[in-house]
Amino acid sequence: MGCINRGSKDWPIRSSWSICGVTWARASLVVLGTFLLWFGWYGFNPGSFLTIMKGYGGGGGYYGQWSAVGRTAVTTTLAGCTAALTTLFSKRLLVGHWNVIDVCNGLLGGFAAITSGCSVVEPWAAIICGFVAAWVLIGFNMLAAKFKYDDPLEAAQLHGGCGAWGLLFTGLFATKAYVNEVYPGLSGRPYGMFMGGGGKLLGAQIIQILVITGWVTATMRPLFYVLKKMNLLRISREDETAGMDLTRHGGFAYVYHDEEDISMRPTFMMTKIEPNNASPSTDGQRSPSNV
């Protein structure tokens, strides 16, 4: 909503990771952050169960809430990994090169999509969820580029687009047994349309998407409009070109070439040994350059 209020980008600043020769993000840091989110997602999805030691059915046995926790971890992993691999090869076919940052965003898109129904779908359905989520992310990114929607982090495309697909996915693939196990206490709960449950759950999920969209629009659109009128929504072009690390915080966040700064060199430094093309002397003795 903030990007919509700000309008399309009128200079190609935020659309690239590298500006004026300065790299504003490193793929290694993006991958590290993605792995941290991946680890945290297991606390978010499987960890959302209030109890673990709870048996299903009166007989006890080896099947219970702990099985649902394990299944949730499996569906989360399958959806994320499928989305990551689909994004990897799809972007390779579309743009002609590999991009690890696209893979990271695809992985998170799969996680965002499966979160809605992670505990009530089969593992094979999670693979479908991740595959479609990857193409939803790619498609929304194409639309963002076409309409000059300024969101280089792909936050709206990832959480909004893939999240909406995840709600629809739950309405299609939620199984009856898992729904009754995870949400007990009320018989006749609706489940996935493709699993024989009719369209009630899918209809409820569509209404949920519309309600969320309406609520965010009604609450956030006025806020960002006021911020824009007060010139608080976006920094100046000069600050953005130079980088807020320098203009607002007094230094660079990423300094990877300290050796180029003479003031940061120690008093004693070992010199580099440069390769040379000198050949051995003809008399069989080694020349000084080869010693």
Amino acid, single-letter form, for residue 108 = L
CA dist 241 and 12 (Å) reads: 10
User: Is 135 exposed, middle or buried, given 0-12, 13-18 or 19+ CB atoms closer than 10 A?
Assistant: middle
Cβ contacts of 104 within 8 Å, gap of 6 or more = 30, 31, 33, 34, 84
The fold adopted by the segment(s) 25-198 is Ammonium transporter fold (1.10.3430)
Q: What is the pLDDT of residue 51?
A: 79
pLDDT, tens digit only, all 291 positions of the chain: 556 655 555 544 444 444 444 445 578 888 999 999 999 999 999 998 887 877 776 555 677 788 899 999 999 999 999 999 999 999 999 999 899 999 999 999 999 999 999 999 999 999 999 999 999 999 999 998 888 877 777 888 999 999 999 999 999 999 999 999 888 878 889 999 999 999 999 999 999 999 999 999 999 999 988 988 888 887 777 877 777 777 777 777 665 554 555 555 555 555 555 666 655 555 545 544 444
What's the confidence (pLDDT) of residue 52? 81
d(CA 255, CA 266) in angstroms, rounded, equals 17
User: Which of these, 72, 74, 69, 71, lies nearest to 53 by C-alpha position?
Assistant: 69
**What whole-number distance in Å separates Cα of residue 209 and Cα of residue 170?**
12
The secondary structure element, H or E, covering residue 42 is: helix 27-44
- Alpha carbons within 13 A on the beta-carbon side of 111: 22
C-alpha to C-alpha distance for 197 and 180, rounded to whole angstroms: 12
Please, how many CA atoms are within 13 Å of residue 129, restricted to the half-sphere of its CB? 40
The answer to whether the predicted template modeling score (pTM) of the entire model surpasses 0.85 is no
pLDDT of residue 263: 55
Packing angle between helix 163-173 and helix 100-114, nearest 10 degrees?
50
At residue 291, the pLDDT reads 44
**So where are the chain's domains?**
25-198, 211-291
Residue 185 confidence (pLDDT) = 79
